[in-house]
Amino acid sequence: MRFFPILTAVLVCIALFFLVLQREALLGFARSLTGDTPEEQVAEAEAAESVPVAIAAAAADRPEDAMHVIALRSEAREVPDAVMVRGQSKAAREVEVRSETSGVVESEPLRKGQFVETGDLLCRIDPGSRGASLAEAEARLAAARAAVPEAEARIPEAQARVAEAEARLEEARINQNAASRLSEGGFASDTRVASAAAALRAAEASLTAAATGLETVQAGIETARANVQTAEAGVEQASLEIDKLSIRAPFSGLLETDTAELGALLQPGLPCATVIQLDPMKLVGFLPEAQVDRVSVGAQAGARLASGGETAGEVTFLSRSADELTRTFRVEVTVPNDDLAIRDGQTAEILIRTPATRAHLVPASALTLNDEGTLGLRVVESDGTVGFMAASIVRDTQDGVLVTGIPDTIDVIVVGQEYVTEGVPVRATFEPLGLAAEATQ
């Protein structure tokens, strides 16, 4: 029979009995051995446990059978907060450069992946007869411009005819007036009066014809000027048609496709090449309704790509209109991509910084449920009894759980909270815990 293992087990049981169930008696016996005065014992207890004065006074009145718990004095502090969304990278610009005219490609193709600058030639189309069309339009313009001085030269002649007709009209009026007066005195015949009236009407007709001729000359000038404008439009159209033969890069970027092959026939609307701009890069995600008000344009953001790369930038766009199907709001983060390491379409986890939140950092084991199933913390009230406070989890960290929705200062029970309920008197021991001092995430 092994005597010593049994004796050891008995001694261990006795030690546990005094440490757990008779702790106060054991502590009193220890104090009597040290010889400390009661005042020194109280000072040491206060310094070791950091019990608030009100709770210490209430704990002194607790019965000996009150439940013993371990509590933590927690002070709320501001901790950085963020919203995380899943999204993907998207090129800042992407355009499929298409032909605006028809013709055969006469330039060597550029291969995909090549970097091009703004204005670089992508495709050149054979001009064909477009040069002759431009020369013809320029000749018509020269002829139209020459016709303008010729039309303007007819103005003096037409004006002179009008002046001559006005003078003859004035003479005819004088003759007709004289004939009428002589006829009244019996000194002129009726034939002379009729002849004078006929001459007056002829002069009036000549003046009308001269004025019409002047208007015709002026209309001819306007027509000549209109012909000039039409010829200029023809020249411009022919020049633009020639300019369309050279298809150039609209911005600096990478060729996502080969340019059109040599000898290929391009028609209006057919693609020459696809150009994408990857610097800067956009990260696109969708915020749920509950979190969209926490984000603002200009907020700092970071992202981790599925490939393991990380980047940072700021929010440059936040949609004001929700997606009709998902009821989410589009958010765009612009990040630098100088080395073109980020590709278009990569999956990314986007973390957007939001205003700081006042929260407590407590052990995850301190969270509990009340009888209604509400998640929260059991705390030591100022009268030494147990209270319950509902709490909301901000996020988990390596050091504990960040919770909010509770007062800035609390005494949270971290050991024994599952064995007490609201209103039960407890004897609390306050222990320092590094969690409260490291709430930095």
| Residue-number span of the structural domain to which 351 is assigned | 87-92+276-357
Compute the mean pLDDT over every residue in the chain, rounded to the nearest whole number: 83
Domain match, 206 and 134 both: yes
What digits encode the pLDDT tens for the residues 244-257? 999 999 999 999 99
Average pLDDT rounded to a whole number, residues 204-219: 85
Domain match, 363 and 396 both: yes
Query: Using H for helix, E for strand and C for coil, what is the string for 323-377?
Result: CCCCCCEEEEEEECCCCCCCCCCCEEEEEEEEEEEEEEEECHHHEEECCCCCEEE
Domain match, 383 and 331 both: no
Domain match, 202 and 135 both: yes
Give yes or no for a contact between 115 and 254, defined as CB atoms under 8 angstroms apart: yes
82 confidence band (pLDDT: 50, 70, 90): confident
What digits encode the pLDDT tens for the residues 278-320? 999 999 999 999 889 989 999 999 999 998 899 999 999 999 9
Give yes or no for a contact between 123 and 260, defined as CB atoms under 8 angstroms apart: yes
- pLDDT the model gives residue 328: 94
pLDDT reading at 76 higher than 60: yes
Domain match, 141 and 175 both: yes
Query: Is residue 223 domain-resident?
Result: yes
Average pLDDT rounded to a whole number, residues 169-183: 79
Residues 6+ apart with CB under 8 A from 292: 318, 329
Query: Is residue 57 domain-resident?
Result: no
Average pLDDT rounded to a whole number, residues 148-174: 84
Domain match, 118 and 258 both: yes
Query: Is residue 41 domain-resident?
Result: no
| Cβ neighbourhood burial of 21 (10 Å; 0-12, 13-18, 19+) | exposed
Domain match, 150 and 210 both: yes
Q: Is 43 helix (H, G, I), strand (E, B) or coil?
A: helix
Neighbours of 308 (CB within 10 A): 6
Of 24-38, 162-176, 177-191, 241-255, the range with the highest mean pLDDT is: 241-255
What digits encode the pLDDT tens for the residues 21-47? 555 665 565 555 545 544 544 444 444
173 confidence band (pLDDT: 50, 70, 90): confident
Domain match, 111 and 252 both: yes
pTM value > 0.85 = no
Q: How many domains does the chain have?
A: 5
Distance of CA 123 to the CA centre of its chain: 34
Q: Which amino acid is at 149?
A: P
Domain match, 143 and 234 both: yes
